[in-house]
A and B are shown apart, each in its own frame.
Chain A
Amino acid sequence: MASPTISSNYTTFIKKDVGLSAFSLSPSSFSVPKTKRRNSRKIVSVMAPQQSPRSPSTTGSVKTAMTMTEKILARASEKPQLIPGENVWVDVDILMTHDVCGPGSFGIFKKEFGQNAKVWDREKIVIIPDHYIFTNDERANRNVDILRDFCTEQNIKYFYDIKDLGNFKVNPDYKGVCHVALAQEGHCRPGEVLLGTDSHTCTAGAFGQFATGIGNTDAGFVLGTGKILLKVPPTLRFVMDGEMPDYLLAKDLILQIIGEISVSGATYKSMEFVGSTVESLTMEERMTLCNMVVEAGGKNGVVPADSTTHKYLEDKTDVPYEPVYSDEQARFLSEYRFDVSKLEPLVAKPHSPDKRALARECKDVKIDRVYIGSCTGGKTEDFLAAAKVFHASGKKVKVPTFLVPATQKVWMDVYSLPVPGCGGKTCSQIFEEAGCDTPASPSCGACLGGPRDTYARMNEPQVCVSTTNRNFPGRMGHKEGQIYLASPYTAAASALTGFVTDPREFLQ
C-alpha cells in the first residue's frame, strides 16, 4: 500500500544467511509466558491442536538477522523472519483512540461490520478523551459522549472518562493526554504492537515496542478484526554516545536529529535510538525522543528495553511481555552517530520542526509567551526541568507562561513532588513564585490550537516558545503565529528573559 518508489530499494536488504550467534540478545527464557499468552488468544476450542507452539523468531532458529522493529512485526505476524518492504498482516496488542478520531472510527466500524457488531477484544482497546475537553464547544462535548456510549455498549475495559468538566479532579477515571496516559497506566509494553488514531502514538516506542499512528478507516478495521496490514519499514539507527550535559534534555536530541534528516528524512522508516546516552535517559525522556519521530516522517521509533524500562513497568502492568532486540548483524538503512557531550540547546524555528537553530543564535527573537505542555513536553520531568530553571534564576517570568500538565497524574506531581535541589519546594510553588499562570486542567490544550475557547490557544499572531511538537502555520491557533519548539529548560529560560534564551544563562 505504499509508494512504489520506496519498495524498489528493498531488495538490497536481503541478507545472506548468518549464524545464530547474533541471537545472544534474544532472551529465550521469555518464550514460555509468551507462548501461553499467544495461545490464549488463538485457541477457539479446547480440543484444538496447538499449531505453532513457538515461533522461530524467538527460539533463535532464524537465519536472517533482524532489527527490533522487524522482529516485533515478525512475531506479531507469526513469520519466522521479515525484511523491509514486505507487507504483512499484524496482530494488534493495543488500539488506542481519543475524542477527535474515536467517533469517526466507531462510525466506520459500525458501517462496515454492522450496527450490532462487537469489537474484536474489549480488553485491548483503550479510549482516552484528551483533545477537546475543557471547552464549551458543543460538538466537542458531544464527541466525548459518543466515546462514552460506545464504551458502554461494547463494555470496553479501559475508558478514561470525564463527566464533570468544571473540576477534572472529581473525575477519578480521567487521565489526560493519551500517549502519556498509555504509559502511566501500563498499556505500553516491550515487544508489543500498539496502534493509535494519533500521529504521536509513536511515543510508546520508548518501551521497545512497535507503535504508530493510523487513520479512522484503519482503526475501524482494527476494531473489528484486531489486525492491520503493515509494510515492514527499514530502520535508521541513531547512536548517541557521550555524557549528556546538564543543560540538555531529550527534546534537544530529537530536534538535533530532525534538523539533520529533515521533516521527511524518515518517511516510511523506523528510527532506532541506541548508545550510552539513550541508555542513561529516563522513560519519560525516551518518550520525548520517540514522540517526535513522526516529525521526521518516521513510521515508528524504538528504544531497546532495559532495566530502566522494566523498573518503570514494575508496578504498572501484570501482563507478561517479551522484549526483542536488534541483532548485531541486522541491516540498517543508515546509521547516524552523535557525540551528545558536544551538543548545545536547540530550537526549531517557525514554521517547521526541522528548522533547527542554536537557542543562543536566536537570542534577539522577542517572544510574547511560553507554553509548557503536551505529550512531548508536558510530563512530570518536563515540569521539574522548567521549575529547576525558574528556581535557579530566582527571577520572575517576563511573558505569560502557560503550564498544561499532560495528565491528572502529572498535575498531582506538579503539586506534590519536591523539585530536586530546590529546598523541598514543589513545581507549583516555584511556578507561582516565578509568576507563571496556574497549571491548567490536564489535556492536549493549545498544542494543536483546538476550539477557540481552548486555554492558552494562540488567538493572536504572537511569538511563542513551546515545549510541544509542531510549529507549522496555525498549529497553536493563529495562522500567522510563530512557534519556536524548545526543551522545557529553554522554554523556562526564555520565559525569564522575554527572548529565546539558552538555558545555560541560568543553569551555570
Chain B
Amino acid sequence: MAASTASAALSGNPNLTSSHKPHASLSPHSNLRFSTAISPKFPFKFLTTIPFTTATTAASTRRSTTVTASTTSFHGLCYVVRDNVDTDQIIPAEYLTLVPSNPDEYQKLGSYAFIGLPSSYETRFIEAGELKTKYTIVIAGQNFGCGSSREHAPVALGAAGARAVVAESYARIFFRNSVSTGEVYPLETDVRICEECRTGDVVTIELGESKLINHTTGKEYKLNPVGDLGPVIEAGGIFAYARKTGMIPAQTA
C-alpha cells in the first residue's frame, strides 16, 4: 500500500499524466489569463474560506487513511533525530542526480532517505536492501531540514513511506517544499519530544485534534494546529490543491 500511494504522490493521478493531452487552456495565452485571475487577494480567500471536504474528489483517495482533514490520523513507528538535521543528512548530494519527477527515480530516492545520518544513528531509517522505511513518523528537534533547497529531501522522506514529521521547528525551504509537494506533513510542537520519544516507539498523530500519542510511553503531546496547510498536503501539493479548489483549471483527458 505504501508503495502505491507514494508513487501516486509524485506522478499524480493517472489521469493527469498518462492521458494528458495538450490543452487550449494551457497555452501561453491562458497563462496570461491565469495571472490576472490570481489577483493578489483571491487565493487567500480560498485558503481561509473554502470548506474542505475530501470525499468529493478523486485526489483525496491518494492517502488511504485519509477521510477528511479533521479526522486524518497516522499510526506507526517513529524514527527520532535531533536538532539541525540538514538536507545533506536527509538525502546526500551524491543522490541528487535522481530526478524526483521521474517515477522510477522517485522510488530510488526514497530508498536513500536519511542515508546521510552519521553512523552514530545505529538504527537506520531504511534497512539494508529495503526500498521503504518501517517508520512512518519522523520526530525531530529544532531547525529540521536546514541547508539546501533540494526538494529531493521531503520527496525522499515521502517516497520512503514517511507520512509526517513532527519537529520543534523547520528550516523555511524544507517546510515549504513539504507543503508544495504534499509529500509529508511538517507538523510542529512546542515540546522537545525528540528527547521523550525513542526510535521504534508506537505513535499516533490525530491531526484534527492536533495531538501526538506515544503508546509506548503512554504520553500525549499537543501539536500546533496544521491549519490551512492540511488540505494542501492532503490534496497532494499546491497544484493538486489549486485544481481541486478551482484556482487553476482542472486537467481533462
Docked complex Cα distance between A104 and B150 (Å): 10
A218 and B94 contact, Cβ closer than 8 Å, known pairs A107-B102, A225-B31, A474-B116: no
- The answer to whether A131 touches B148 (Cβ under 8 A) is no
Docked complex Cα distance between A199 and B181 (Å): 17
- The answer to whether A448 touches B93 (Cβ under 8 A) is yes
- The answer to whether A104 touches B92 (Cβ under 8 A) is no
- The answer to whether B99 touches A267 (Cβ under 8 A) is no
Any chain A CB within 8 A of the CB of B253?
A: no
Which of these binds chain A: B20-28, B55-63, B194-202? B20-28
* Chain B residues, Cβ within 8 Å of A220: 239
Docked complex Cα distance between A44 and B20 (Å): 29
Expressed in whole angstroms, the minimum distance between the Cβ of B99 and any Cβ of chain A is: 4
- Which parts of B9-67 form the interface with A (CB within 8 Å)? 11-12, 16-17, 20-23, 26-28, 31-32, 34-35, 38-40, 43-44
Interface size of B by CB at 8 A reads 68
Q: Which residue of A lies closest to B102 (CB)?
A: A107
Q: Is the interface of A mostly helix, strand, loop or mixed?
A: loop
A449 and B94 contact, Cβ closer than 8 Å, known pairs A79-B40, A216-B100, A217-B237: yes
* Chain B residues, Cβ within 8 Å of A120: 28, 31
Q: Which residue of B lies closest to A454 (CB)?
A: B94
- The answer to whether A5 touches B224 (Cβ under 8 A) is yes
Any chain A CB within 8 A of the CB of B229?
A: yes
Any chain B CB within 8 A of the CB of A116?
A: yes
Interface size of A by CB at 8 A reads 75
Interface string of A96-118 (1 = CB under 8 A from B): 00001101101110011111111
Any chain B CB within 8 A of the CB of A89?
A: yes
- The answer to whether A89 touches B225 (Cβ under 8 A) is no
Expressed in whole angstroms, the minimum distance between the Cβ of B144 and any Cβ of chain A is: 10
Expressed in whole angstroms, the minimum distance between the Cβ of B127 and any Cβ of chain A is: 18
- The answer to whether B88 touches A199 (Cβ under 8 A) is no
* Chain A residues, Cβ within 8 Å of B84: 263-264, 352, 472
- The answer to whether B176 touches A117 (Cβ under 8 A) is no
Known interface pairs A267-B172, A451-B94, A470-B88; 6 further A-B residue pairs with C-beta atoms within 8 A, sorted by A's residue number = A2-B176, A111-B16, A113-B26, A143-B97, A216-B100, A264-B142
Interface residues of B (CB under 8 A from A): 11-12, 16-17, 20-23, 26-28, 31-32, 34-35, 38-40, 43-44, 84, 86, 88-89, 92-94, 96-102, 116-119, 142-143, 146-152, 169-173, 175-177, 179-181, 188, 224-225, 227, 229, 232, 237-239, 251
30 A–B pairs (Cβ distance < 8 Å), ordered by A: A79-B40, A87-B44, A103-B99, A104-B101, A111-B11, A111-B16, A115-B22, A117-B27, A139-B97, A196-B149, A214-B149, A216-B177, A218-B177, A221-B238, A225-B31, A225-B35, A227-B35, A229-B43, A264-B146, A267-B143, A297-B172, A299-B172, A448-B93, A449-B92, A472-B88, A473-B88, A473-B117, A474-B116, A475-B86, A479-B118
